[in-house]
Structure 1
Amino acid sequence: MNFFKRLFKIGEAEAHSAIDKMEDPIKMTEQGIRDMKTDLEKSLEALAQVKALAIRAKNDTEEFVLKAEDYQQKAMLILKKVQNGDIDSAEADRLAKEALIKKEENLQHSNRSKGESEKFDTSVNQLEKNIQTIKQNISKWENELKTLKARVKVSTATKNVNKQMAEIDSSSTVSMLERMKDKVNQEEALADAYGDIANTSKSIDDEIDAAVDTTKTSAELDLAKLKEQLGIDSSKKE
């Protein structure tokens, strides 16, 4: 029993997998419409053939009726000739009888053709109803296909927008911003550290020169020497 249950579960899983792999509804609907149009073409061909048979049966019925009436007239003419003495009575009876037999045969053919014509007319009516139904279904499916395509476009666009919105609001974006802030803070701290290292690496001479403006002192000495050469007493106040 468990073995059969496992087989059933496997079959059920494969069936679900097959359903999941089925073509999308748009392609299935398009194929359905193509199939219905093929059926419509076949139905139109069948309708044309049955109509041709119905027309033929109707024409045959009329033709058999005319032939029956013609044999009736011929039998009457033959009997009239007996009255006029143009033909022997026995011969006239034989020919008139044969004409009446032909008349009856054509009436039977006429009735048969009439029955066939009625059957063909019934088939024509049924085929026309089927064709009308197929046309209506094709029109319905084509309209549903248009609606389905529009719905697919809307749903796809909505899905993409919602997906983008979800990604914007996701924690991954916030985490990325936090990581960027940490990176900037780290770079700023590293810059300050390098500045401190640069300050601590100065020599004592650099510190002395920074404390005393040697450029200004040298300029003052040069000015004093120049005044001495010119005989200008730099100690006098103007």
Structure 2
Amino acid sequence: MNILTRFKDIMSANVNALLDKAEDPEKMVDQCLRNLNNDLGKVKSETAAIMAEEQRAKRELDECKEDIEKMQRFAIKAVEAGNDNDAKKFLEKKALLTSNQISLEASYQTASENAMNMKAMHDKLVADIEQLESRKKLIKGKMAVAKTQERMNKMTSSVNGANNSIKAFERMEQKANEALDHANAMAELNKSSDDDLKDLEAKYSDSPSSAVDDELAALKQSLGK
């Protein structure tokens, strides 16, 4: 039957393997659930049809067995009544029904196996869906944590870049300080000895105000004041 071929792979489906191969587990688990629920609807419908076929085959087989037993009872009564021709007719009908019973038993056996396989596929599919539903939140939770960690990693990288910039700025400032110190030192070294002497003369020479004061004192003395 086509439906058995169509859903044969469901029996060997490995949901964990599908998730492991997924590039985006969060999307894959949703897709798996959609696919499995879609398949479950088809499996349920076909399983019901095959189980109904099994019941019909069993009913036909049971009716055939009842008819065989009935023909046997009628044949016995006919013999007991001395009607061998009637008994023969009943036995001929019984033989025909017995031949049909073999075919009906084979049909019922096939229908029973098909129903069992479809029921097993249905149960497997339900179990897979329940497993995915129970793991769905866990998978999505892990993906959310992973994305948060990824954002934190990028932020850490940015902070490290800022720290490197600050360190580079500090190095430039240190170089500027060194250059200023070097320039001041060169200016000190380039200062001439004449400049030093002038500074010393200015230190020990009388200031103009001091000479004026001395001259004023001498003038007062000459005037008797």
Shared topology, TM-score over 0.5?
A: yes
Paired residues of 1:60 and 1:110 also in contact (CA < 8 A): no
| In structure 2, C-alpha distance between the alignment counterparts of 1:165 and 1:27, rounded to whole Å | 28
1:88-138 C-alpha deviation (Å, 9 max, x unpaired): xxxx33322221111112222223222222222222222222222222222
| In structure 1, C-alpha distance between the alignment counterparts of 2:40 and 2:118, rounded to whole Å | 10
Match of 1:170, SS?
helix
Q: What's the TM-score once normalised by structure 2's chain length?
A: 0.57
Q: What's the TM-score once normalised by structure 1's chain length?
A: 0.55
| In structure 1, C-alpha distance between the alignment counterparts of 2:42 and 2:125, rounded to whole Å | 11
Counterpart pick for 2:141 among 139, 146, 150: 150
| In structure 1, C-alpha distance between the alignment counterparts of 2:115 and 2:50, rounded to whole Å | 6
Identity %: 21
| In structure 2, C-alpha distance between the alignment counterparts of 1:109 and 1:49, rounded to whole Å | 24
| In structure 1, C-alpha distance between the alignment counterparts of 2:122 and 2:100, rounded to whole Å | 32
1:196-226 C-alpha deviation (Å, 9 max, x unpaired): xxxxxxxxxxxxxxxxxxxxxxxxxxxxxxx
Amino acid at match of 1:122: E
Give the structure 1 partner of residue 102 of structure 2: 111
Amino acid at match of 2:114: S
Aligned residues: 151
Paired residues of 1:64 and 1:106 also in contact (CA < 8 A): yes
Stretch deviating more after TM superposition (164-173 or 45-54): 164-173
Give the structure 1 partner of residue 24 of structure 2: 24
Q: Is the aligned partner of 1:174 residue 2:165?
A: yes
- Stretches of structure 1 lacking an aligned partner (at least 5 in a row): 1-21, 83-91, 183-238
1:35-64 C-alpha deviation (Å, 9 max, x unpaired): 112212222222211111111111111111
| In structure 2, C-alpha distance between the alignment counterparts of 1:75 and 1:165, rounded to whole Å | 97
| In structure 1, C-alpha distance between the alignment counterparts of 2:168 and 2:142, rounded to whole Å | 37
CA apart distance, 1:149: 0.8
Paired residues of 1:61 and 1:111 also in contact (CA < 8 A): no
- Stretches of structure 2 lacking an aligned partner (at least 5 in a row): 1-21, 174-225
